[in-house]
Each structure stands twice: as structure tokens, then as C-alpha cells.
Amino acid sequence: MNVVLVEPEIPPNTGNIARLCAATATTLHLIEPFGFKLDDTQLKRAGLDYWDHLNWHRWPNWAAFQKQLPSDARLWIIESKGAQRYDQIKFAPNDYLIFGRETAGLPKQLLDQHRDSWVRIPMFHDKVRSLNLSNCVALVLYEALRQQGFDGEVE
């Protein structure tokens, strides 16, 4: 699996997601610009000492990331108001789960280009704008891994 963070802003969220990706052998893609420096202490503290065990890539922008994608790559855009719930998707092992900035989500142009793969996490209170980014990544990633029978689990 692949988790993609587009312009992440909050160091502890990115650190928690890095730790999650290390624990699940998931590749993490970080797309600039960031709202922090990669040597930020909060980022490292949240990821603890797992950065050495993480397969991750840094991309200067969406275009550079998109250019390296395999022609058959499946992108799932995780954003509120998506037509499908994340539990209705049939995930494949090499899928890319795309998440946007904590304060603004994904750019409108990216959303418009990928309307068919726009996926939401259900919300139950109209006064709550969204869930925490690291929680969203964990929910969707573990559903994708569950569908694959947690292949590769260390017991």
C-alpha cells in the first residue's frame, strides 16, 4: 500500500502517520510544500525511532509525484463529500491513498481530476468538520489491509 500526504501541515500528524506506515510496511509519500521542517522535533517525537524502518519518498510537488506513478496506479482520494464510503471500495495491494492538508484538504483541481475515485469517511455530526488526519489514514489503511487478509502480519 501507499499513503500520500499532500502538503501536510502539522508535524505530529505526519510523525504518527510515518509510524503507522512503518508498522504496516506501507510506503509513505510526502508532497511539498510542508508546514514544517523535516527535522522538526515534534515530527521526530511522534514517529519515534521508526523513520529508519520506513520506506518513504519526498516529492517537490504533485506533478513530480504523478510523473513517477505506474500507468496502472489506482489513486483513492480521501476527502469529505466523496460519492463512496471507504468501506465500499475494493482496495488492491499497490493502491495509493491520497490525503490533503489538515486545514484545507486537497486542492480543488486534484479533486476535479479524480471525481471517480473520491472516497469519504462517514461523519455523524454536522458541526464537526473532519477527523484528525492521522486517524483518517489509520481507518482507511487498516480497511485496505483487512481486505487483503492482513497479508505479511508479524505474529
Residue extents of the structural domains in the chain: 2-147
Predicted pLDDT at 93: 95
**SS3 of residue 71 by DSSP:** coil
In one-letter notation, the amino acid at residue 118 is: W
Predicted pLDDT at 43: 67
Nearest one of 137, 139, 149, 103 to 3, comparing CA atoms: 137
Residues 155 and 61: their CA atoms lie apart, in Å, by 38
CA dihedral 57, 2, 101, 85 (to 10 degrees): 170
Predicted pLDDT at 87: 95
Task: Indicate the DSSP class of residue 68.
Answer: T
Residues 120 and 110: their CA atoms lie apart, in Å, by 15
Mean pLDDT by 10 residues, the chain (155 residues): 96 91 96 84 67 91 97 94 93 97 91 92 82 94 96 86
Residues 85 and 26: their CA atoms lie apart, in Å, by 21
Q: 2-147 architecture in CATH?
A: 3-Layer(aba) Sandwich (3.40)
